[in-house]
Amino acid sequence: VPSEGGVLVRNLYLSVDPAQRGWASDRSNYLQPVAPGSVMRGLAVGIVVESLAPSIAVGSIVYGFFGWQDFAIAEADEILNCESHPELPVSAYGSILGITGLTAFLALEKLAHLGSGQTVLVTSAAGAVGSIVGQLARKAGCRTIGLAGDEHKLRLCTESFGYDVAVNYKAGPVGAALEAAVPEGIDVFFDNVGGPILDEALRRMRIGGRVIQCGTAATQNWDPAPRGPRAEREILTRRLTWSGFVIFDHRADFARAAAALSAAIRKGELRYLEDIESGIQCAPQALSNVYAGRNKGKKLIYIGQAV
Amino acid sequence: VPSEGGVLVRNLYLSVDPAQRGWASDRSNYLQPVAPGSVMRGLAVGIVVESLAPSIAVGSIVYGFFGWQDFAIAEADEILNCESHPELPVSAYGSILGITGLTAFLALEKLAHLGSGQTVLVTSAAGAVGSIVGQLARKAGCRTIGLAGDEHKLRLCTESFGYDVAVNYKAGPVGAALEAAVPEGIDVFFDNVGGPILDEALRRMRIGGRVIQCGTAATQNWDPAPRGPRAEREILTRRLTWSGFVIFDHRADFARAAAALSAAIRKGELRYLEDIESGIQCAPQALSNVYAGRNKGKKLIYIGQAV
């Protein structure tokens, strides 16, 4: 039975997100660690079966922190999206309208200060965030360079995701590859991975460039923190602004951003891919695969009846 | 003979600034390296003896890139301050009204987003920049913590420069000292040094904190860049904004900032120290001393007749 303002949700799609690896570690990062034996924290798309929330009708599709479970009691603050989007499939609440699409849209809007003719470099360029970043940056008149780790993803970058150039960061030294791909330097580095690619990119930023840190997927273990070349001289002499972006700080902007993303899809300006498996048994391995970059779009686990 | 728009200046005070160490290295940073055998690039305060600049009268006190020499032909773009400040001594053009005072004022104004009750940590806290930062942050209602390397400077910090607490970073492990001095975490880290102190401070920043990189005095050799613990996870999980500040990007703001600093001095709200030696022969050692933190205020070299 939900409490006042909450709902009972039947989950339909579980969202599999790289951040869950951090949530399941025994060190807190920006959220408390998930306790062993408790339900795995996670986002999901579900249908409301009971509602004590005045603005949410039974039958509504909702998206939020419902956990990796069939049914969830969701408090008001655990619901991230309860707007109606009948123009898109239900799974879209967990992909392009979910945190990955929202991260691409809002991190660019708030931190990139994109200008026409600027150069934007993106890591995990074919991923659920990077694929949207490339298209939005291209639409803003930027030159877009995507880094990815296999030929299939490189093709996706240039054929589907708005990248002018796609670079295989595994094919050789990253520094030399960037030197060739962005001889003019980088205005905006949208980074989902950190590590050695970040080191090389920082040293090729243009004066006044922006570095947006959205993830650190290249490093699996932060205890102790691995070492790398010091960054402060690059920050100073290039007058960089290096910012961290966590989507959950920006909930007040979700409805507006989702509406803008949906409109762009309907105008044919934006593509998104989903990579859907079926059944809760797939979830743990799916998380490991997502962290290793083996998904082919936003990873969702279908556990409900289609509605 | 000056060219159209320029002036001939008799230098009175040469400014000695840590950045000159970088300018004199054979690697460019944000300016081209000084060529061996040419006049050392440097700021100075002088008096105009010939003028082809319509707005600058003979006899005016000016401040700019006049070099380490007795007389300088200065082009219009080399003059940083030609406003009249008869309310302050001539040397003030090179200290509180010069790049160190301006850096403190403008870096705080543009990057710190100070709020009352916030905690501000400053390195080189008794230096020409840090001493002004402490006072301005205190005036904005912040809790101010200064790091310095000897007892004389620590006393200056708390007795003269607006610091609530002064910490001797040489007295033991910096991490433990910060843990004790800023248990609440840091909202703004105004950093003039980089290196291991920066590493410890980054790991004690509060969510949404701002790191302002104004110098990297802790590291003398950047070729190759020394290594340190990776920063990207701190940037991300703490949602930091780490920015580089170079004062010469902000020339349009100099006159306004200098007027505000002068007004604060006349109201008795702001103190500044100068450490003046006499004669060009003192200049090279003075630069080395400034870089090592052995000055007791803004270092100037007097080479003119008092006016």
| Per-residue model confidence as pLDDT tens digits over B13-48 | 999 998 898 888 877 666 789 999 999 999 999 999
* Sites in chain B below the pLDDT cut of 50: 306-307
* Tens digit of pLDDT at every position of chain A (307 positions): 999 999 999 999 999 998 898 888 877 666 789 999 999 999 999 999 999 999 999 999 999 999 999 999 999 999 999 999 999 999 999 999 999 999 999 999 999 999 999 999 999 999 999 999 999 999 999 999 999 999 999 999 999 999 999 999 999 999 999 999 999 999 999 999 999 999 999 999 999 999 999 999 898 888 899 999 999 999 999 999 999 999 999 999 999 999 999 999 999 999 999 999 999 999 999 999 988 888 888 999 999 874 4
Interface contact flag, A230 B230, Cβ < 8 Å:
no
CA distance B38 to chain A (A): 23
Q: What's the CA gap between A225 and B188, in Å, rounded?
A: 23
Specify the DSSP element, H or E, that contains A275. Answer: strand A274-278
How many CB atoms neighbour CB A87 within 10 A?
10
Instruction: Nearest chain B residue to A210 by CA: give it.
Output: B243
ipTM score assigned to the predicted complex: 0.92
* Backbone dihedral region for residue B113 (phi beyond 0: left; psi -120 to 50: alpha; all else: beta): left
For the segment A229-274, what is each residue's pLDDT rounded down to a tens digit?
Answer: 999 999 999 999 999 999 999 999 999 999 999 999 999 999 999 9
Instruction: Nearest chain A residue to B219 by CA: give it.
Output: A233
Number of H helices, E strands in chain A: 9, 14
Instruction: Nearest chain B residue to A197 by CA: give it.
Output: B232
Give residue A88's pLDDT.
96
Give residue B22's pLDDT.
83
Give residue A109's pLDDT.
98
Residue among A212, A232, A242 with most chain B CBs within 10 A, to mutate: A232
Distance of CA B209 to the CA centre of its chain: 22
Residue type, A198: L
Interface contact flag, A243 B241, Cβ < 8 Å:
yes
CA distance B215 to chain A (A): 7
Give residue A30's pLDDT.
67
Give residue B28's pLDDT.
66
Chain B residues within 8 A of A227 when measuring between CB atoms: 227-230
pTM of the model: 0.93
How many CB atoms neighbour CB A115 within 10 A?
11
CA distance A241 to chain B (A): 4
Per DSSP, the three-state class of A183 is: coil
Q: What's the CA gap between B130 and B190, in Å, rounded?
A: 8
Interface contact flag, B226 A230, Cβ < 8 Å:
yes
Interface of B with A (CB under 8 A): 29-30, 191, 194-195, 198, 207, 213-216, 219, 222, 224-233, 235-246, 249
Interface contact flag, A233 B194, Cβ < 8 Å:
yes
Interface contact flag, A216 B236, Cβ < 8 Å:
yes
Interface contact flag, B30 A227, Cβ < 8 Å:
no
Give residue A307's pLDDT.
44
Structure tokens at A206: 């243009």
Chain A residues within 8 A of B245 when measuring between CB atoms: 236, 239
Interface contact flag, A213 B236, Cβ < 8 Å:
yes
Token pair 């055998």: residue = B37
Judge residue B276's burial from the number of C-beta atoms within 10 Å of its C-beta, 0-12 exposed, 13-18 middle, 19 or more buried: middle
Looking at the partner chain, which of A222, A230, A237 has a beta carbon nearest the beta carbon of B29?
Answer: A237
Q: What's the CA gap between A129 and A108, in Å, rounded?
A: 11
CA distance A247 to chain B (A): 10
Judge residue A50's burial from the number of C-beta atoms within 10 Å of its C-beta, 0-12 exposed, 13-18 middle, 19 or more buried: middle
